[in-house]
Amino acid sequence: MLECSGVACARGDRLLFDNLSFVAKSGSITLVIGNNGSGKTTLLRTIMGLIPAASGSIKLDGEGITTSSGCISQITYVGHKPACTGNMTVQEILEFWAQCKNSSELTDAAACFFGLYPILDVRFKNLSSGWQKRVALSRLLVSNTRVWVVDEPFSNLDPDAVALVQNLILTRAERGGIVILADHKKSDLFIDAQIVQLPPQIAAHTAPE
């Protein structure tokens, strides 16, 4: 399980939230919701070990998560802005991710699931925002990790793609995965999801020393 205990996150000297605790068990979907600026993306990046928590701890199966910890290999993060090099083709992006995870056998499955075959030779920068989102989300299948952390999973997607991603996330949870999503509001697509509500922006507070 993934456990956040008494976590505080800050942006610079401004405290975004504090004393946040929740447990995401195997087979579960957790939806982090909050307004713009409430710290959703900061929390997800903290879960990934990309930035430190101001206080508290985040652990996966009892191990603290940092970029150098062993458990980080079990987590895949997809941010709301695609982390793809614009000059690379879709095929090159899939192959790069597969190389990172030693999972080259999964590139075809990811391309098939997200309908990427017609655009494999297209440079990422030349794709529409909807296709860029599909490519970014295909990392989940190529990496095939136990924990998925996804920021705004449905942004820029058409209804057909939304249904596709909804099914993908539900299937991952049904197979024992841990899925943590962030969005602006509660989604009817995941009625059984655990909800983690971030408070409105905390004004005039500084991060703990």
Q: What is the mean pLDDT of the chain?
A: 91
Task: Tally the residues of the chain.
Answer: 209
What residue segments make up the domains of the chain, in order of their start?
A: 2-197
| Percentage of the chain exceeding pLDDT 90 | 74
Domain covering 2-197, topology? Rossmann fold (3.40.50)
What is the mean predicted confidence (pLDDT) over 86-92? Answer: 92
Q: What is the pLDDT of residues 175-194, one digit of tens each?
A: 999 999 999 888 888 989 99
Q: What is the pTM of this model?
A: 0.91
Question: Which of 14-18, 88-92, 97-101 has the weakest average pLDDT?
Answer: 97-101
Contact 25, 178 (CB under 8 A): yes
- What crossing angle do the helices spanning 90-101 and 129-143 adopt, rounded to 10°? 20
- The gap between the terminal CA atoms of the chain, to the nearest Å, is 29
Identify each DSSP E strand in the chain by its residue range.
2-11, 14-24, 28-33, 55-60, 63-64, 75-78, 147-151, 178-183, 194-197
